[in-house]
Structure 1
Amino acid sequence: MNRILIVLLLLGVIAGGCVKSSVSPLVQYNKQKEIDSAIIADYLTANSSLKAKKIDTTGVYYIVNDGEEGTGNVLYTNSTQVTVAFTGKILTSGFVFAQTDQFHPTYVLGSVIKGWQLGIPQIKPGGKVRLLIPSRYAYGPYAQDSIHLPANSVLDFQIQLYNVTN
């Protein structure tokens, strides 16, 4: 009798472990996508003087002010190295989570967040771009504790491009 109870208990535990979550990752992704889109749309409505352009259907917006496009001919690839100065803020709060002051780091374009991969090619060396990046093109649902960045943060980057190397 005890063996039968143990077997039934084990079967109950196994069956209970197989129950799927009520919210699939795709549903969560789409819900956050809508939230991010609303945050950016509200921001752009409140700041209607910004001449923001959307990059394809990504939800990433960029702003390049007149005279700040940079100069030269550049071909961007995933292995392109970019030397930049930047300030990164959370769009909703204005909290600065990252900033370069006196140094200008160099990154391989293919190794930075997707929002940068899409936004930096909008300018040339010497140019400045402002990027409004939905969370899915930044760090997504993963908090970045080392820089005090909550999960699903919509980001606002000011980037100055100093050099491009292929």
Structure 2
Amino acid sequence: MVKFKHIILLICLTGCFAACKKDVSIDDSYDPTPQFKADTAAISAFVKTNNIAATKDASGIFYQIIAPGTGNVSYLTSTVITADYEGRLLNGTIFDSTKGTPASFKLGNVILGWQFGIQKIQKGGKIRLIIPSYFAYGTQSPSSLVPANSILDFTITLTDVQ
């Protein structure tokens, strides 16, 4: 009888562990390079068509400093930034906006495109960032308004840096 109870317990435990197994496949073969090249070509065409005086950063992010701001902050991932911003897709669809009420974030908690771009201005500065999907949300879709592999176009005014 004791052996029977142990066997039943072992079967139950095995079943519990098997039920916990996630059925998620991780595609280690994903190569972001083709998407990055396509994004870069699309951004280059967008910048040219819309006559935007943007510079391509070494990372691949395009930016236009509208106002540099003042100060000499050395940014860290723990730096808290307060920004008034509007985020658009390249087709002009606005997917996010603070609508004049700045929001605060730790720099390390925002998308990589912001982490690279914000460092190009200081408090009071304004920048336009056109971010390849790799430095935004990549293959993820953060909302129904932002499809996977979306290039993002942000206009950001940095109202405070702490």
Q: Which residue pairs with 1:85 in the alignment?
A: 84
Q: Which amino acid is the alignment partner of residue 80 of structure 2?
A: Q
Q: Which residue pairs with 2:43 in the alignment?
A: 40
Gap change, CA 1:45 and 1:102, over 3 Å in 2:
closer
> Do structure 1's residue 25 and structure 2's residue 27 form an aligned pair?
no
> Do structure 1's residue 153 and structure 2's residue 150 form an aligned pair?
yes
1:150: how far off?
Answer: 0.3
Q: Which amino acid is the alignment partner of residue 154 of structure 1?
A: I
- Tell me how far apart the structure 1 counterparts of residues 154 and 100 of structure 2 sit (CA, whole Å): 17
- Tell me how far apart the structure 1 counterparts of residues 47 and 99 of structure 2 sit (CA, whole Å): 27
1:129: how far off?
Answer: 0.2
- Tell me how far apart the structure 2 counterparts of residues 116 and 132 of structure 1 sit (CA, whole Å): 10
Q: Which residue pairs with 1:104 in the alignment?
A: 102
1:84: how far off?
Answer: 0.3
Q: Aligned match of 2:119 in 93, 115, 121? A: 121
Q: What secondary structure, in the 3-state scheme, does the structure 2 residue paired with 1:25 have?
A: coil
Q: Which residue pairs with 1:163 in the alignment?
A: 160
TM norm structure 1:
0.78
Q: Which runs of 5+ in 2 are unaligned?
A: 1-26
Q: Which residue pairs with 2:20 in the alignment?
A: none
1:51: how far off?
Answer: 2.0
1:102: how far off?
Answer: 3.7
- Tell me how far apart the structure 2 counterparts of residues 25 and 83 of structure 1 sit (CA, whole Å): 35
1:24: how far off?
Answer: 2.9
1:135: how far off?
Answer: 0.1
Q: What secondary structure, in the 3-state scheme, does the structure 1 residue paired with 2:60 have?
A: coil
- Tell me how far apart the structure 2 counterparts of residues 148 and 109 of structure 1 sit (CA, whole Å): 23
How many pairs does the alignment contain? 136
Deviation sequence 1:79-123 (CA, Å, 0-9, x none): 1000000000001x1100000014211100011000000000111
* Percent identity between the two aligned chains: 40
Q: Which amino acid is the alignment partner of residue 77 of structure 1?
A: L
